[in-house]
A and B are shown apart, each in its own frame.
Chain A
Amino acid sequence: MKPFTYERARDAVAAARAATRPGAKFLAGGTNLLDLMKIEVETPTHLIDVQDLKLDRIEKTREGGLRIGAFVTNTALAADERVRRDYGVLSRAIVAGASGQLRNKATTAGNLLQRTRCPYFYDTNMACNKRKPGSGCSAIGGYSRQLAVVGSSDHCIATNPSDMNVAMRVLDAVVETVNPEGRTRAIPIAAFHRLPGNTPHIETTLEPGELITAVTLPRPAGGTHVYEKVRDRASYAFALVSVAAVVQKDGSGRVAVGGVAHKPWRVEAAEAAMPNGAKAVTATLLADARPTGDNEFKVPLVERTLAAAISQARTA
């Protein structure tokens, strides 16, 4: 690890202000950041630990939804009684990811900001526009079985590895932040993660120093909640493809897909076809798919995983 200095922030605005310093980064659970610091993919010179900011609560909102503090652990979020009852897809997605040890430490905001697991991002001997802007992309033309099939660019074909984010997207979560001047804003999850374009190193719409304080969920959407994940092992592996779905009794519903793009992939226009089944939905959802030879299997896999999710919802 490269040397760094460490501080514990006392309040959110002070933390945001400290983060404007060049080389500074927020530290929450650390399960992703420290991993990347050990292999020097991440080389912050200053860490701002946010554990004392009292962002570890889950509370009701006035609108009848939930406000989840940025520092709430993945375990605490998945185990919350209200989340299990009203937002089951979120609990399901979280427990489908990582291990018990990691979920005890990883946080809500940290999971939102989780970096890609593209092997070329991790290997500092390889070209990667995300790790070193302008250096090229070794993944394109490389081993791309795990990588993106839609929304990718000529500069990056990495995927967002999170399960939680896919559920947050299907639930229309909103990311609440505070900036170094103390101004707050609410970013709909759809506008939070970016596609790679020609700046794959910029992964979210957060501004420098902007600190995530909470994620809010709107009123419960009802319906049957399903998270279907396909991976190489039965447990403790990243998704090849995952589907988060909220399906209503009349067959209508919403769906977001993980493991296929630089962000949780949802196309609202595709959802009109939900009562017609997985094939019709997937045709619109992945209309612009541009898979590689290694990962073209993901296109039919999305359709089949969605079919499994819909059938699971019908029999629930």
Chain B
Amino acid sequence: MADSIEFTVSRRGMIVGGAATAMAASAPAEAQTRKSTMPADPPAMPVTLKVNGKAHALSLDPRTTLLDTLREHLHLTGTKKGCDHGQCGACTVLVNGQRINSCLSLALQHDGDSITTIEGLGTPDKLHPMQAAFVRHDGYQCGYCTPGQICSAVAVLDEIKRGVPSHVQADLNARPQASGIEMRERMSGNICRCGAYSNIADAMAEVAGAKA
């Protein structure tokens, strides 16, 4: 990978660095034999992404997912990699206002798109109302799934407002309400292994002005 990742020294950085060093010690022979049989990397391609209001012109290996672009190239590490297969929702971001799993999308598919990550929703000094509600209701324990939960929760309230139907809606032709059961169904693509679900539902209900 051409771009180096410049983190300040942190516990995580030490662990990553340590593992990389250990691998490097045993890897050279294997790397050399593999090199000759590996197909050449495809040429990098240009893409422009507008992330949290700022345009970024990048040149990327076509294989780079939107998630890896955000984390490894733009150093926006708020968006998390959980399963990397669209099953856990930790990588949820908003693309042109709609939530998607950034792990199951190539950056090249998003040329010209506007992307909002957790860093763009609010800042520590000026929290988004959903972030503030998660804090107030203890909507997390370890916090790893939280950025995805919050991006998803913000989008869920917008989807309900726009009348996007859901599985639990009794009448498809009625406008959906921000009820507890609606929000729980619509959040099923975000897994929290600490099990903070009921507090997440409370936080969402507060922002929606409804009962969980």
Contacts and interface: CB of A to CB of B under 8 A. Distances in A.
Interface of A: 1-6, 27, 30-31, 34-35, 38, 47, 49, 51, 75, 78-79, 84-85, 88, 91-92, 95-96, 98-102, 104-105, 233-236
B85 interface: yes
9 contacts: A3-B40, A4-B62, A5-B62, A6-B106, A31-B101, A34-B106, A91-B172, A100-B187, A101-B100
Given A91-B165, A91-B172, A101-B99, A34 B39 contact: no
Interface stretch (B70-78, B129-137, B155-163): B155-163
Most buried by B among A6, A38, A47, A101: A101
Given A34-B106, A101-B92, A235 B167 contact: yes
Contacts of A92: 167, 172
Contact of B65 (A2, A3, A34, A233): A34
B189 interface: yes
Interface string B76-112: 0000000011100100100000111100111011000
A234 B184 CA distance: 10
Interface in B29-65: 39-43, 45, 61-63, 65
Nearest to A33: B104
Contacts, number: 110
Contacts of A85: 172-173
B188 A99 contact: yes
B70 to A, nearest CB: 15
Given A100-B186, A235-B167, 8 more contacts: A2-B39, A6-B106, A30-B105, A35-B104, A102-B101, A105-B100, A105-B101, A235-B185
A4 B42 contact: yes
Interface in B169-200: 169, 172-173, 184-190
B114 interface: no
A96 B89 contact: no
A38 B189 CA distance: 20
A236 to B, nearest CB: 4
How extensive is the interface on chain B, given as a class?
Answer: 35 or more
A99 B85 contact: no
Q: Which of A35, A88, A234 has the most CB of B within 10 A?
A: A35
A79 B105 contact: no
A79 B86 contact: no
B146 interface: no
B172 A6 contact: no
B189 A99 contact: yes
B201 to A, nearest CB: 14
Given A27-B109, A49-B109, A75-B164, A104 B63 contact: no
Interface of B: 39-43, 45, 61-63, 65, 84-86, 89, 92, 98-101, 104-106, 108-109, 152, 155-156, 159, 162-167, 169, 172-173, 184-190
Nearest to B164: A79
Contacts of A84: 165, 172-173
A1 B104 CA distance: 12
Contact of A6 (B45, B89, B98): B45
B63 A4 contact: yes
B165 A79 contact: yes
Nearest to B93: A101
A49 B43 CA distance: 17
Nearest to A84: B172
A292 B92 CA distance: 38
Contacts of A49: 108-109
Nearest to A97: B167
A35 B86 CA distance: 8
B85 A38 contact: yes
Given A5-B62, A85-B173, A105 B105 contact: yes
